[in-house]
Structure formats: C-alpha cells, structure tokens
Amino acid sequence: MKVRDKRRHIPALVWLLSVIPIALVLSATGRYLEGALQGYFFRVLMLSGIAIIAAVSLNVVNGFTGQFSIGHAGFMLVGAYASAGITVFARPHLQLALDAAHVPASVQPPLGFGVALVAAALGAAVAGLVVGLPSLRLRGDYLAIATLGFGEAIRAIFVTIDAVGGASGLHNVPLDTNFVWVFLGVISVIVTARNLALSTHGRALFAIREDELAAQAVGVDTFRYKVLAFVIAAAWAGVAGALLAHLNQGVDPKDYGFMKSVEIVVMVVLGGLGSVTGAVIAAVALTWLPELLRPVQDYRMVLYSVLLILLMLLRPRGLFGRKEFSLGSLFTFRKEAAPPRPGKEAG
Amino acid sequence: MSRRILAVIAAVGLVGPLVLMGCAKRADVAARNSGVILIGEYDAFHGRTADFGKTTHEGIVLAVDEINGKGLLLGKRVVLKSEDDRGEASEARTAVQKLIDRDGVVAVLGEVASSNTLTAAPVAQSSKIPLITPSSTNPDVTKIGNYIFRVCFTDDFQGAVCATFARDSLKAARSAIFRDVTSDYSKGFARAFESTFQKKGGGIVARSTYTQGDKDFKSQLTAIRSANPDIIFVPGYYGEVSLIAVQARDLGIRVPLLGGDGWDSTSLVPAAGTALEGCYFSTHFSSLDTKPEVARFVKAFRKRYGHDPNALAALGYDAAWILAEAIRRAGSTQGDAIRRQLAATKDFPGVTGRITIDSQRNASKPAVILQIRGTSFVSVASITPRQVK
Amino acid sequence: MLGSIYALIALGYTMVYGVLRLINFAHGDVYMVGAYIGLYAAQYLHLQTGEGVLTPPALLLILLIAMAGAAALGFLIERVAYRPLRRAPRLTALITAIGVSMLLEYGGQIVFTTTPRAYPQLAMAEKSRALVLRGVRIDWVDIIILIVAAVLLITLQIIVHRTRPGKAMRAVSFDREAASLMGINTDTIIALTFIIGSAFAGAAGVLVGMRSQSIEPLMGLMAGIKAFVAAVVGGIGSIPGAALGGLVMGVSEEAVHAVYPQLTDAVVFGILILILVLRPRGLLGGPAMEKV
C-alpha cells in the first residue's frame, strides 16, 4: 500500500524527456560562466557544487537514517581513482569503442567522462557495500569507528598501489569537470535525496533514525535499508570524488583522508541532520568561508575552528534543524520531512 | 512566510555580489596593480608541511626586500602576495588560481611538495603566468608546460651526484639502498643513484625499504648488515634517517651512510647523537660556504630572522632573485616576456650555486656534498652536472 | 613499547567514552600539549644540563608538571566545550570535539611554531643506553615508559575500584541519570574523568617526546587515531581493555613494520575492522548491542 504525499514526486519520465534541452541550456550557461567569471570564482563555485554532492549524500546516511558514518572521503577516493583510471588509462580504448559506434568526435569527451562517472559511482557503490555490510551491524558509535577505520584503510591501501601513482597520487588527469556536470550532479543528488525522503524507503530510513528497535519490531528490515542508504550515499560520494579529481587534474590520496571526511560531516551537522536544504547551504558556506577568511590567513584555521565550536554551542541542532525548504509544492514551508498525519492514508 | 522571503533575499544578497565580483576581468585587476610589480607565492603555512613553507617564505621575503632596496625594478616596487595552501594539493590549485585571477600577479613562486606543485601548475600554464618552484624535485613538474620552471636540481641529478661521490671520492664498490617506500622522492632518488652507481662499476648488494613514520628499523638493518656493504644509501627524510643511524650503529654497522636533501635539517644531528658522525649527504646549499654571495646571504638572513637559513630558504631566495632578474631583462611584466627571459637564465650566481636554466626548464647547477662533523655540516665537495656524466 | 604509549592515551579515550559516550577527538592534541608543557618546563626551570639531558628526578618533575597542565587543559575543554552540549545530539558534540582538536592543532602551530623541537633526554651514558638480553636489545627509555605506564594504570585501577570517586565514575558510566538520582554529582565526576584521562595523555606526551627526541604540533593526530583504535580493540569503556588494546596495537604495528612496512596503516585499521566485525565489544568490553 503506497503512501501518497501532498508534495509530488517528479516522475522519472519527465526527467528523461527534458534531459536534452536541459543539457543544451546548461552547456550554454556553463560556457558563459566560464568565460565571464574569473577562474578563481568559477573554481570555488565548482568546489561548492562538489561539496554539495558529498554533503547531501552523507546526509542520507547520517541525517535520514541517523547512522554515524565518518569515513565518507574513502568513497570519494574510490570514485576518484575509478574515474581517473578510465580517463587516463582507458581513454584510447574508449575512443576506439566510441569511434566504432560512430559517435561524433565532438561528443566523445563528455561521453567518455560520463562513462568515467558511472564507473566512479559503481566502484564507490561496491566499496560502500564492502564497508557497509560488516559495519552496519554495529550500534552508533561503533559504526562511527568502523567507518573511520575503513576510510583510513581505503586510503592506506591505495597508497601502496604504484600503478595509480602510489603515495604521490595520480596526475595528468584531464580537466573534464565543468559547469554542466557539476550542476547536473548537484541537481540529481538533491532530487534523489528529496525523492528518497518522500518515498516509502525514506519512511523506513526515518523510522530507523527515530527508533531502530521499534522499527525492527514493526517489521522493517532495518539492516537492508541501512545498507541501501549507505550504498547510495557511497555512490554519490564516488561521483563527487570523480568530479574533484577531474577539477584538480589529479588524485592526491593525502587529501582524501580523515580530515576530508570530517569536513563533510561538519557540513551535514552544521546544516542540520536530516535537512537537505541545510546540507546544501552548509556545504556552500563552508566552501566559501576559508576563502573569505584569506585576508586573515595567519589565523584562518584557528578562526575556522573557533567558529565551528561556537556554532555547535549556540545551535546544536544545526542551522536548519530538521526543516526543509520545499520548492515543488507551491512554495510553502514544511515543518518536517516526515509522514503525513494518519487518517489521510489510503485503505 | 516572511522567513522564507528573508531566506531568499539573503541568498541573493550573498551570491549576487560574489558573482558580480567574480566577473572582473584580469585586465581590470592588472590596471589596479599598475604602480607595483605583484609577485605571488603559494606555500604551506599551516598543516603537515608548514615548516617547509615557512622557511621558503623567509628566503623569498628577504630577497624581495633586497630587490626593493637595490632600487626599483622597472621603476616599481615589488610586492609579495602570499597565500596559504595548508599543504594540500587542491588548496594549492585554489591559491594559485586566486593569485592569478583576483590579485593579478605577474608570476608565481611555490611550492615545496611536488604533488602540490603538480596540481597547481596547470593553472599557471593555461593562464600564461610563469611559475617557478624553488624546491619541487619531481621530474614531471616542468613537463607541464613552458611556463613552469624550477631552480633546484631534480632527483635524477641528485641520485647521480651521490653515486658519483660514492664511487669517485669514497671509492665504495658495494652499496646498500634503504629507501622510504611511501615517498616518490625517495623512490626516484634511489633509482637514479642505483643506475649511476652501477654504470660507474659499483654493485648494489642489498635493497630494503621502510615507511615514513617508522621508529624501528632493526630487522631491515640486520639484513643489510649481512650483505656487507661499503656504504648505505638512505634517500629519505631526516626524521627516520636519524633513528636509522642510531640503530645501525647499535647493530655494529660501521660504514658511512649517504643521503640527500631530505636529511637537511637542524633536527638531524640532535636526534642522532654521534651516530651520523662522518656521514654524508647531498643538498642544495651549505650555510658554511665561503663564497662571498653565500656568506652575505647567511649574514643578512641571520640578522633578520635570528637563525641560519636552510636549503629551502636559500632556494626560495634564489627563485625570487632569478625572477626579478628575468623581469629586469625582459623590461616588461608580460607573462611571455618573463618566460623567455627565465628560459635564458645563464650562470646566475645564486646562493645555491651557479644556475643555468636548461631547455627542459630545469636548473643545471652543482650539488654540494656535506659531511656531518659534530653538530655542523661541512662542505666537502661540489659536484657539477658535467662530472656525473 | 609503542603499546604502552597507546595504552596511556587510549585510557583517556575509554574513560571519557565510558562516562559521556563521547569520542573526544581533542584527546590526541592534549597529549601534544602535554609534551610541549614538559619541554617548556624543562627549559624555564633550567632543569637541563648543558647537553640537554635530565636527571631522573628532573624527569619526574616535568612529568608531573605536564600531567597537571594537561589535566587543567582537559578540564577547561570539558567545561567550555562539552558540558553545554550534554543534551545535544551526539554528532554535535563530536563536531565540537573535532573543532577543539583543530583549534589545538592550528593554534599550536601558531604558538609553538611549526618547527620540530628537540626534546630533553634522560641522562645516561652511551653504553648503558640499552639492556641487551640474549641478543635482544631493549632501550632503557622503553623500559621506563613501560614502568611509568604500568604505575599509572595500576593507580587508575585502584582509584576506579577501591575509592568512592572511582565507584561514582563507574556508576556514571553505567547509567548517568540513575547515578545522579543516587546523589552523585555527575558534573564533578565527569570533570574528574577528564582530568585523569588528560593527565595520562600529558604523561604519554612527555614520554614520547623523550623517546623520539623531537616534538611538533601535529604529533597528536596519528597517535590519537591509533590510540582510539586501541581503545576500541580493547573494549571501549573498559580500563584494562584500553591497556590490552594498546598493547595489541603497539605489538602488531611493530610486527608489521618489520615484515611489510608499507602496509602498516592498512593492517592497523584492518585489525580494527576485524575486531568490530568479529567481536564488536572489543576484547574486554561489555555488551555491544542493545537488547530490548
């Protein structure tokens, strides 16, 4: 028995049909922005977008499901290597395949990158499965420790693989990330998160967050849902990692360690656990903040940490608590991304 | 309702001006800077490698002051704009992008760590702004493009230097190599050493590895001891080298250790006690060098900062000076003009040796071999590129 | 020997977790500050001889000073940053802990400067540096570390099991609300927990400084994470567990170094994962899953 909410899903078909015109519009916008904006601003804009993808994806696990995952950067790293592996090592093979399929040369680079992104998502999803299956059996804090451990382990393992650059990382990655991809990524992750929240799966996740034992008692397969959320989040993180790698033209494993995971967790908590809007705003704010603090750069990091502490002390629930900003349903502010009142449900 | 409107206003209010600011053209920024020559620097002032960034910065700042003191460059004051990259590759790229776009620098100096330079340099290359790294030794750095230069030697050269010294001066025939497996620097350095050492008739009798951060090397050293080498090549960083030396001596290994610029630190000897006495390492610079320009530099540095300069500071100093000289010869601050003059740098009397920029935009210059005597490093040899052929 | 260091730091983690269910990320940095306090104490009290060595009583003194200083810092952190968040969601407190950790690290880089500092050594003749038993070499420094760690551990066990405050700490870690209903002043007890845990971390800092002969502001980072892993392996919330965990981690890390150096970190975390999967409560810990 499906639960229909007043707010509507955006049907998948509508999405698919609008892809091409949207892509063209985005492409034009992207080219304009790249030309008009200074490289620096454009770059920070891109970094914000990537941060949004990472934060919103983590929000699905930490916010919706109430789990305690602090190793998210590991999945970004997997995605980065997976995508870079394709664009750096497999490019000639890919080109041959695309040529054989008579794909015009102008479309090949973005298509190639698209393939790389899919690889990133898949690779990260597999990693998510490998990490999630053992870890999600654990309760709160133990889960945190496990995810932390896995995140570091992933990094430590990649550092030993010389074929992808070992300790100094993979370089000469093509600059494939552009406005179109990042924008698409951001929109998709937000829509996916939102749709997830409104679906029955989302209900299950929220139930798990509120009281896992009770959810189990009413028959929700909590383990399955937790793993599902985890894998989805990991896949998105992989995409974020791939975008980052192709923005920096390289993968430096040192940058995807515990500190990176912490940065993402901070964004999610700051925005308010469970609030997609909050995650988005916090991601953007925390990407811009260090840049804005450059004039006082001697104390930049100290100020950053002090601000963090203050914000947590003053607003422990995060900026948005659990509120959402809802666009699709006629511009009204909703209280909580929660089930509708009983009695309105069908049958 | 009003809350939502407030939120929208806030969003537009925040993003709007940022976007407008972002639309400023580089020409406008350059116009703003017309009265000065703005040079950018990106280094790690916080984070893991903060010490490297700080000392490089000290050298650069000293150079800039001297340049301004000697009279204006092209009639203008040189101003240094420094940005912190926290030692992270992504940050390095952002910092360079900001320096070029927002500040409108005419050239960029930095970074120390090769992986950060490798990530940041493409930005300079595509913006056609010359970038000089004072101390990144990874060979791939200058391959990024014709706007990327380095004023230090590469690890390939350093490896050959050590091998030449070991064979020709120390008459060593059997060498062990004990390298840091987590460091590409160590790997490349070791590889270059091995190839030249063998080319000159020597033999590698043992190869072993350790990880950065290790504290115990006894098992590897025991294996090395049984191979009976004349000399042990340790192309790593001072932290581990000190401990390796102490433990080697404890195991009864008496032969000298040989290494590279990763040893160059004031923390090397205190941590090793007498274990490194008489050992050697190659580096860019010796503060005890008696050449007039070096002595003058060391004195000025000491006066300003209260401590002696290390190799990184010296390289930062030379990088800044070479840049200034190139700008002077170019007679303009156009990226292309500066680039051409940088490429034409010949026999520049740097404090780290006579520097000529070769066709690969790397520095062709001698390396010094220092020997550890007591708590000082004494220069015992200077090996030029010609000698390692 | 590495194990005893990890054990000391792990103790602090485990104790704080026991009473507050909080993973105190700043703990590793308290350890770092302890090391620096010891350094400054040695310098300003002119306890070193010319070559920068200390006599055993001098070592004891700076150890105590460092412990006191670290304890004060721990108390301060708890009071300012954690106490207001007792009722907040746990992730919030975690973020605050991370914020404090960052503050200490970056602040440390500004205050202590980024250059590594040489650490005073224990006065010893070169020959008697180490004990050689049948070909196996053990540094006196390591023995001292082991002894100090053991002493502190035993003291802690005594406190926790034989004294009233200790009993109160156990009560609070079992059930905070019930404990306060029983008339225990939870605030004081929690503060006490932090004080003791931080003091131990400070001691570890001085000992490590002495052993590695140099310290720098970011030393707490990796040590903190590994000690935390040790606490979990041993069973978080259990004091003997922290000791055992520390030992296990230390020994395995050194063993892996000898055989397969580049995989050290991976193995360390691999052990963590193994334990979590096979025996989540750790080797000596209490029940891991809630039962209805």
Q: What is the secondary structure of A119-136 as a DSSP string?
A: HHHHHHHHHHHHHHHHHT
Search chain A and give the residue with CA nearest C91: A269
Task: Say what the pLDDT of residue B286 is.
Answer: 81
Residue where the block lists tokens 């989040």: A233
Put simply, the answer to whether B83 touches A294 (Cβ < 8 Å) is yes
* ipTM confidence score: 0.79
Q: What does the alpha-carbon distance between residue A173 and residue B331 come to, in Å, rounded to a whole number?
A: 36
Put simply, the answer to whether C263 touches A160 (Cβ < 8 Å) is yes
Token pair listed for C87: 């009722």
Do the strands B107-109 and B77-84 form a parallel or antiparallel pair, or are they unpaired?
unpaired
pLDDT higher than 70, residue B4? no
Identity of the residue in B46, B54, B270 whose CB atom sits nearest the CB atom of C106: B46
- Residues A188 and A240: beta-carbon distance below 8 Å: no
CB pairs under 8 A between A and B: 100
For residue B230, tell me if it sits in a domain: yes
Closest CA to B124 of B92, B140, B98, B100: B100
Put simply, the answer to whether A159 touches C99 (Cβ < 8 Å) is no
Mean pLDDT calculated for residue range A39-61: 90
Q: B-chain residues within 8 Å CB-CB of C212?
A: 215, 271
Phi, psi of B302 (to 5 degrees): -60, -40
Min Cα–Cα distance to chain B from C52, Å: 10
For residue B17, tell me if it sits in a domain: no
Task: Say what the pLDDT of residue A345 is.
Answer: 39
Mean pLDDT calculated for residue range C85-95: 75
Search chain C and give the residue with CA nearest A266: C95
- Give per-residue pLDDT as tens, C93-125: 777 888 888 888 888 887 877 666 767 766 655
Cβ-Cβ contacts under 8 Å for A173 (sequence gap 6 or more): A84, A87, A88, A245, A246, A248, A249, A250, A251
For residue B26, tell me if it sits in a domain: no
Min Cα–Cα distance to chain B from A157, Å: 12
Task: Say what the pLDDT of residue B32 is.
Answer: 65
CB of C131 within 8 Å of a chain A CB? The answer is: no
Average pLDDT, chain B: 85
Q: Are residues B98 and B208 in the same domain?
A: no
Closest CA to B163 of B195, B207, B205, B138: B195
Q: What is the secondary structure of B42-61 as a DSSP string?
A: EE-SSSTTHHHHHHHHHHHH
What end-to-end distance do the CA atoms of chain C give, in Å?
42
pLDDT higher than 50, residue A5? no
Q: Are residues B382 and B271 in the same domain?
A: yes
Q: Are residues B110 and B166 in the same domain?
A: no
Mutate to test the interface with B, among C32, C136, C213 (most CBs of B within 10 A): C213
pLDDT higher than 70, residue A332? no
Identity of the residue in A137, A258, A316 whose CB atom sits nearest the CB atom of C85: A316
- Give per-residue pLDDT as tens, C200-241: 888 888 888 777 666 777 777 777 777 777 777 777 667 777
Residue B58: pLDDT band (50, 70, 90) is: very high
Residue where the block lists tokens 């460092």: C66
Handedness of CA B254, B256, B262, B264 (dihedral sign): positive
Q: What does the alpha-carbon distance between residue B33 and residue C181 come to, in Å, rounded to a whole number?
A: 69
- Give per-residue pLDDT as tens, C159-190: 877 888 777 877 777 777 777 787 777 788 88
Most confident of B217-231, C126-140, C200-214, C252-266: B217-231
Cβ-based interface (< 8 Å): residues of A facing B: 36-44, 47, 159, 166-169, 171-172, 175, 244, 248-250, 252, 254-255, 288, 291, 294, 297-298, 300-301, 325, 331, 333
pLDDT higher than 80, residue A122? yes
Put simply, the answer to whether C269 touches A152 (Cβ < 8 Å) is yes
Search chain C and give the residue with CA nearest A311: C96
- Residues B353 and B382: beta-carbon distance below 8 Å: yes
Task: Say what the pLDDT of residue C227 is.
Answer: 78
Put simply, the answer to whether B89 touches A175 (Cβ < 8 Å) is no
Average pLDDT, chain C: 75
- Give per-residue pLDDT as tens, A268-309: 888 877 888 888 888 998 898 888 878 777 777 788 788 888
Put simply, the answer to whether B218 touches C258 (Cβ < 8 Å) is yes
Q: What does the alpha-carbon distance between residue C286 and residue B353 come to, in Å, rounded to a whole number?
A: 65
Give me the residues paired with residue C71 across strands: none
Put simply, the answer to whether B22 touches A254 (Cβ < 8 Å) is no
In this structure, chain C runs to a length of 292
All structural domains of chain A, each given as residue ranges with its CATH number in brackets, are 12-314 (1.10.3470)
Q: Which residue has the higher pLDDT, A68 or B296?
A: B296
Put simply, the answer to whether A41 touches B183 (Cβ < 8 Å) is no
Q: What does the alpha-carbon distance between residue B178 and residue B200 come to, in Å, rounded to a whole number?
A: 20
Task: Say what the pLDDT of residue B333 is.
Answer: 86
- Give per-residue pLDDT as tens, B330-353: 888 888 999 999 998 888 888 888
CB of C290 within 8 Å of a chain A CB? The answer is: yes
Put simply, the answer to whether B102 touches A43 (Cβ < 8 Å) is no
Cα-based distances in Å from B372 to A37, B264, C200: 54, 11, 38
- Residues B139 and B158: beta-carbon distance below 8 Å: no
Q: What does the alpha-carbon distance between residue A346 and residue A1 come to, in Å, rounded to a whole number?
A: 8
Search chain C and give the residue with CA nearest A137: C277
Task: Say what the pLDDT of residue A329 is.
Answer: 31
For residue B24, tell me if it sits in a domain: no
The 3-state DSSP class for residue C26 equals: coil
- Give per-residue pLDDT as tens, B124-175: 998 999 999 998 888 888 999 899 999 998 888 999 999 999 998 899 899 9
Search chain A and give the residue with CA nearest C264: A156
Put simply, the answer to whether B22 touches A37 (Cβ < 8 Å) is yes
CB pairs under 8 A between A and C: 130
- Give per-residue pLDDT as tens, A251-265: 888 888 888 898 898
For residue B194, tell me if it sits in a domain: yes
Mean pLDDT calculated for residue range A318-342: 47
Mutate to test the interface with C, among B43, B56, B208, B218 (most CBs of C within 10 A): B218
For residue B4, tell me if it sits in a domain: no
Put simply, the answer to whether B210 touches C261 (Cβ < 8 Å) is yes
Identity of the residue in B23, B84, B89 whose CB atom sits nearest the CB atom of A37: B23
Domain count, chain B: 2
Min Cα–Cα distance to chain C from B181, Å: 7
Q: Are residues B51 and B127 in the same domain?
A: yes
Q: Are residues B251 and B263 in the same domain?
A: yes
Residue C280: pLDDT band (50, 70, 90) is: low
Q: B-chain residues within 8 Å CB-CB of C116?
A: 51, 267
In this structure, chain B runs to a length of 389
Handedness of CA A48, A52, A53, A58 (dihedral sign): positive
pLDDT higher than 60, residue C2? yes
- Residues A229 and A151: beta-carbon distance below 8 Å: no
Q: Are residues B111 and B202 in the same domain?
A: no
The 3-state DSSP class for residue A115 equals: helix
Residue B95 belongs to domain spanning:
33-153+291-357
- Residues A205 and A98: beta-carbon distance below 8 Å: no
Residue B21: pLDDT band (50, 70, 90) is: low
Task: Say what the pLDDT of residue A3 is.
Answer: 47
The B residues from 60 to 89 touching A (CB cutoff 8 Å) are 83-84, 86, 88-89
- Give per-residue pLDDT as tens, A193-214: 888 888 888 888 888 888 888 8
For residue B268, tell me if it sits in a domain: yes
Task: Say what the pLDDT of residue A69 is.
Answer: 87
Q: B-chain residues within 8 Å CB-CB of C114?
A: 50-51, 54
- Helix, strand and coil content of chain C, in percent to the nearest 5, comes to 75, 5, 20
Q: C-chain residues within 8 Å CB-CB of B47?
A: 218
Q: Are residues B194 and B326 in the same domain?
A: no
Q: Are residues B89 and B160 in the same domain?
A: no
Q: Are residues B40 and B133 in the same domain?
A: yes
Identity of the residue in A39, A43, A255 whose CB atom sits nearest the CB atom of B88: A255
CB of C33 within 8 Å of a chain A CB? The answer is: no
- Give per-residue pLDDT as tens, B24-39: 555 566 666 677 888 9
Put simply, the answer to whether B21 touches A166 (Cβ < 8 Å) is no
Closest CA to B166 of B220, B206, B223, B204: B204
Put simply, the answer to whether C262 touches B242 (Cβ < 8 Å) is no
Could you give the percent of chain A with pLDDT greater than 90? 16
Put simply, the answer to whether C116 touches B213 (Cβ < 8 Å) is no
Q: Are residues B231 and B261 in the same domain?
A: yes
Search chain A and give the residue with CA nearest B10: A281
Cβ-Cβ contacts under 8 Å for B312 (sequence gap 6 or more): B52, B55, B56, B59, B112, B134, B135
- Give per-residue pLDDT as tens, A123-158: 999 999 988 888 887 776 678 878 888 888 888 888
Phi, psi of B54 (to 5 degrees): -65, -45
Task: Say what the pLDDT of residue C213 is.
Answer: 65
- What CATH number did the domain enclosing B69 receive? 3.40.50.2300
Q: Are residues B143 and B179 in the same domain?
A: no
Token pair listed for B286: 């010796």
Interior CA angle at B151 toward B145 and B152, to 5°? Answer: 110
Lowest mean pLDDT among A235-249, A322-336, B164-178, C215-229: A322-336
Identity of the residue in B209, B239, B250 whose CB atom sits nearest the CB atom of C261: B209
The 3-state DSSP class for residue A106 equals: coil
Q: B-chain residues within 8 Å CB-CB of C126?
A: 273-274
What's B169's DSSP letter? Answer: I
- Give per-residue pLDDT as tens, C18-69: 777 777 788 888 888 888 888 888 777 766 555 556 667 777 888 888 889 8
Chains in contact with chain B (at least 3 beta-carbon pairs closer than 8 A) = A, C
pLDDT higher than 60, residue A320? yes
Q: C-chain residues within 8 Å CB-CB of B48?
A: 218
Phi, psi of C12 (to 5 degrees): -60, -45
ω into B41 cis (within 30 of 0): no
Token pair listed for B317: 């100093």
Could you give the percent of chain B with pLDDT greater than 90? 33
Longest CA span, chain A: 63
For residue B104, tell me if it sits in a domain: yes
Residue B380: pLDDT band (50, 70, 90) is: confident
The B residues from 153 to 192 touching A (CB cutoff 8 Å) are 182-184, 187
Half-sphere exposure of residue A219: CA atoms within 13 angstroms, side-chain side: 0
- Helix, strand and coil content of chain B, in percent to the nearest 5, comes to 50, 20, 30
* Amino acid of residue A222: T
Chains in contact with chain C (at least 3 beta-carbon pairs closer than 8 A) = A, B
Residue A326: pLDDT band (50, 70, 90) is: very low
Give me the residues paired with residue B281 across strands: B259, B370
Task: Say what the pLDDT of residue C189 is.
Answer: 82
Identity of the residue in C114, C254, C264 whose CB atom sits nearest the CB atom of B50: C114
pLDDT higher than 70, residue A43? yes
Helices marked H in B254-291: 268-272
Q: Are residues B210 and B242 in the same domain?
A: yes
The B residues from 182 to 241 touching A (CB cutoff 8 Å) are 182-184, 187
Task: Say what the pLDDT of residue B24 is.
Answer: 57
CB of B9 within 8 Å of a chain A CB? The answer is: no
